[in-house]
Amino acid sequence: MNKSPQRIFVTGISTEVGKTVASAVLVRALKADYWKPIQCGDLHDLEFEKVLAWADCAESMAHPSRYLLEHPMSPHAAAQRSGLNLALSDFVRPHPAKTLVIEGAGGVLVPLNDTDTVVDLIHPGDRVVVVSKHYLGSINHSLLTAEVLKARGIQGFWVFNGDPNPETESVILSKTGWPFLGRLLPEPLIDAACIARYAQDWGIRWAQITADPTVSDTK
97-115 tens-digit pLDDT: 999 999 999 999 999 999 9
Please name the residues in contact with 34: beta carbons below 8 A apart, sequence gap of 6 or more.
Answer: 23, 27, 48, 51, 52, 55, 60, 61, 62, 63, 100, 101, 102, 103
The pLDDT of residue 218: 39
The catalytic residue among 3, 19, 36, 219 is 36
59-85 tens-digit pLDDT: 999 999 999 999 999 999 999 999 999
Angle at 19 between CA 14 and CA 20, to 5 degrees: 135
157-214 tens-digit pLDDT: 999 999 999 999 999 999 999 999 999 999 999 999 999 999 999 999 999 999 875 6
Residue 191 · residue 14 · CB < 8 Å: no
What distance in Å separates the CA atoms of residue 206 and residue 180, rounded to the nearest whole number?
10
The confidence band for 58, taking pLDDT boundaries of 50, 70 and 90, is very high
What distance in Å separates the CA atoms of residue 148 and residue 103, rounded to the nearest whole number?
17
Percentage of the residues of the chain whose pLDDT score is greater than 90: 92
| Whether residue 219 lies in the annotated active site | no
Kindly report the pTM of this predicted structure: 0.95
C-alpha torsion angle, residues 140, 141, 144, 150 (rounded to 10): -120
Residue 115 is classified by DSSP as S
Domains of the chain: 7-211 (3.40.50.300)
